[in-house]
Amino acid sequence: MASMILGQDGIWGDLTAISPEGLRTIAGLISRYKRVRNDMASADPVVTGVVSSSPEVHEKIAANGRGAVVLFATVPGTYEYTTQHTVSSEHWSSNETTIRTLGNGHAHLTAEFTEPGARIIFFGIGNRSPLPALRLFGLYGHRQGIVLKATVAGNPPSI
């Protein structure tokens, strides 16, 4: 999902193996993405880190502060990132991520990865109903860095 919202040609992997809860999670992510997709399309991308490194960060935040930051990690660890653009005060994240707005309007993100995966943080969308954590398996190389299969931990979201 993280690669899809960055414009990398869709969802990869065995889609027929996704559980009903996983489908609800994907639908929730796509719904949230649609709320900021035009902002992301107008944003100049900022990429930090080397592809398949830890962390690899993609920032697509428009001048109005709406958009997304995607953090990828291939090894466990706690990773921090400060946005290059000012951000909306409303935000939502796909997994546990600490988001602190700085005095200059930028955001400082801290995410702990216990296994390879991704964090999607949308700015300009409130955090009313977080989705369960995505557990990612089988990372590809190249720019995709995405899932072969996603399983959902926790209870299904109410979307």
CATH number, domain with residue 79 = 2.60.40
User: By residue range, what is the domain housing residue 32?
Assistant: 2-152
What are the tens digits of pLDDT across the range 21-54? 888 888 888 889 999 999 999 999 999 988 888 8
In this structure, what are the phi and psi dihedrals at residue 93, rounded to the nearest 5 degrees?
A: -130, 150
**40 belongs to a structural domain:** yes
What are the tens digits of pLDDT across the range 52-64? 888 899 999 999 9
Alpha helices in 2-158 (DSSP H): 2-5, 20-42
- Tell me how many domains the chain contains: 1
Helix (H) or strand (E) holding 122: strand 117-123
What are the tens digits of pLDDT across the range 116-151? 999 999 999 876 544 444 444 333 333 333 332 333
**158 belongs to a structural domain:** no
**64 belongs to a structural domain:** yes
Contact (CB, 8 A) for 68 and 87: no
Q: Calculate the alpha carbon distances from 98 to 43, 78, 85, 113, 151 in Å.
A: 23, 11, 17, 12, 23
**Residue 7 corresponds to which amino acid?**
G
